A and B are shown apart, each in its own frame.
Chain A
Amino acid sequence: MSQPLIDLKNITKSFDGTVVLDDLNLAVAENTFVTLLGPSGCGKTTTLRIIGGFETADQGQVIFDGEDISKLPPNKRQLNTVFQKYALFSHMNIAENIAFGLKIKGKSKSYIQDKIKYALKLVNLDGYENRSVSSLSGGQQQRIAIARAIVNEPRVLLLDEPLGALDLKLRQDMQYELIRLKNELGITFIYVTHDQEEALTMSDTIVVMNQGYIQQMGTPEQIYNEPENAFVADFIGESNIVPGIMIRDELVEIFGARFACVDKGFGNNKPVDVVIRPEDIDLVDPSAGTLTGVCTHLIFKGVHYEMEVTTPDGFEWLVHSTDLCPVGQEVGIHVDPFDIQIMNKPASEDEEAVGINE
């Protein structure tokens, strides 16, 4: 990454004495789809609002294309926002909504007309110019909100949980729409969501946040396959997080059984946390399993069965598999080496604090 388009430096923000963001640093490259992902209250929306200019950071700088824009009001920033609840202007029709930013900038009538047409086509709502806001469905309103933002040709589009209020099917459709839009426009998207599936589907880079800290930043594959700590592993998808001991490089002991893995450099006989995704567990004949247990729970989920296998130490392994293992049957657990992800145990209390609080 050469010079980042947006660079957040040491951003700190608190509301009424509660620290929401603590010394946050984040660089966003041009023309990427970056998602801020985390549970509610993790500071992701506040981060977005600081970039948009709707909140001011207590400390730190917002650098945009090499310039400090921390003190600029929202109307002086070269970026546009799509709000969670659309925030369309109900006293204007669709065309007037889309034209708002362009009229403020004093663009010519013909230019505005062309832009409205182009934007409506882009969001697949041709011919909606004269409709009223209230006659549109939630999904359509959100498309108009996106159209209203992109006609201004921002270099960055900020999206604050834009699909949060839509139903599942529409949400999935809109995810593909957003990917298409991003590719057609060639601009940077900064997207805030608490929905991990949304984040995995759309992003080039995912920033996992919790309690005002960035937990991990990486591609969706990295975040999913190589979570750096228990919080990330638990928040992104379902997972089995078990205590283990790193015997030596590429060998880990879990509940007394030794599994081959691919991780190195943790030292010898060191306690670690081990993450194994439910779909990475192979159920085999008890004689062939590294661990053996009894199936204690079985639910049909459509694509796969969800099972729980309890091993003698009492741990319930969550298993996703298309093969069925009836409740009560003894079964062996096998995991391929590259499906085992080793994480350091939280070293300090500080790190513990940002982990899972259950």
Chain B
Amino acid sequence: MSKKILAAPYLLWMAGFIIIPLALIVYYGLTDKNGAFTIANVASIGTPEHVKALWLSLWLSLVSTAICLVLAYPLAMILRNRGIGRGSFIVFIFILPMWMNFLLRTMAWQTLLEKNGVINGILSLLHLPTQSLINTAGAIILGMVYNFLPFMVLPIYNVLCKIDDDTINAARDLGANSVQTLLRIWFPLSVPGVISGITMVFVPALTTFVISNLLGGSKILLIGNVIEQEFTRGSNWHLGSGLSLVLMVFILISMAVIAKYDKNGEGSAF
């Protein structure tokens, strides 16, 4: 009995800040302004501009996740093979930017990429033609990769650290060369970390609106921006909630696909 009382604060917290908000979103998403039941909000995902925003979001976050993976795996491998323990200096340096405000970091990129920003300033000093860098899909991908890369590196690094040196030695001993060892031992054993990294990059990338706001301007709308605008400018909470529900379904589907490849649950990020 007394133990159940100890759980009460957490249950209250969960009810107040997780279950009730979710229920509210479901309620708003499935009703119109008069409170009557409707699926129009959810169905409005079918309108061309919403479909376009959703596809663009999926596409950009997929590309960002892939780039993060390609960058993170070798880095995690290097960190692990240097025998650098957890909490060491290089890992620390790597995590350091995560301690700085996310907005601040993204705004710094804005300053760099602007039409009259630092990069174009340097280009014009060198008498090179200035580039339109900001407000492009590329700028958004850059922002996503920059912000989410550590979330890919750390789980992969962790899972690589768990692989015993002698497991690798055994593969070498049995005749495998470096490439064979990489493909048959390193990769399969690091799948849980890769899965975890993909989840931790793909999900926030899919839902972000801050990065696309700052680096994509008003030209490029992601699904996150559409939802945000419905809440802040359009004041149509019902439509925003309906689209949120659709997005949630996409995330659940991607999580389910990921979980299928991660049978042991070793790499679960949450």
A54, A80, A87: residue with the most chain B Cβ atoms closer than 10 Å:
A87
**Contact indicator per residue, chain B 158-194, by CB within 8 Å of chain A (1) or not (0):** 0000001011011111111100100011001100000
Residues of chain B contacted by A81 (CB below 8 angstroms)? 169-170, 173
Q: A81-B169, A83-B170, A87-B170 are in contact. Are A75 and B164 (CB under 8 A)?
A: no
A59 at the interface (CB under 8 A from B): no
Residues of chain A contacted by B167 (CB below 8 angstroms)? 87-89
Q: A54-B169, A74-B169, A81-B169 are in contact. Are A87 and B174 (CB under 8 A)?
A: no
Interface size class of A (residues with CB under 8 A): 20 to 34
A52 at the interface (CB under 8 A from B): yes
Chain A 77-96 residues near chain B, CB threshold 8 A: 80-81, 83-85, 87-91
B174 A91 Cβ-Cβ under 8 A: no
Taking chain B's interface residues, is the majority helix, strand, or loop, or is none over half, making it mixed?
A: helix
Closest B residue to A158 using CB positions: B173
Chain B 207-242 residues near chain A, CB threshold 8 A: none
Picked from A80, A83, A100, A105, the residue with its CB within 8 Å of the CB of B166 is: A83
Residues of chain B contacted by A74 (CB below 8 angstroms)? 169, 172-173
8 smallest CB-CB distances across A and B, nearest first, come from A101-B174, A87-B166, A87-B170, A74-B172, A83-B166, A104-B175, A91-B188, A81-B173
Interface residues of B (CB under 8 A from A): 164, 166-167, 169-177, 180, 184-185, 188-189
Interface residues of A (CB under 8 A from B): 52-54, 73-75, 80-81, 83-85, 87-91, 100-101, 104-105, 145, 148-149, 152
The 27 listed contacts between A and B (C-beta, < 8 Å) are A52-B173, A73-B172, A74-B169, A74-B173, A75-B174, A80-B173, A81-B169, A81-B170, A83-B166, A83-B169, A83-B170, A87-B164, A87-B167, A87-B170, A89-B170, A89-B171, A89-B185, A91-B188, A91-B189, A100-B171, A100-B176, A101-B175, A104-B174, A104-B175, A148-B170, A149-B174, A152-B174
- 18 other contacts beyond A54-B173, A75-B175, A101-B175, with CB at 8 A cut-off? A52-B169, A53-B173, A73-B177, A74-B169, A75-B172, A75-B176, A83-B166, A83-B170, A85-B166, A87-B170, A89-B189, A91-B188, A100-B171, A101-B174, A104-B176, A148-B170, A149-B174, A152-B174
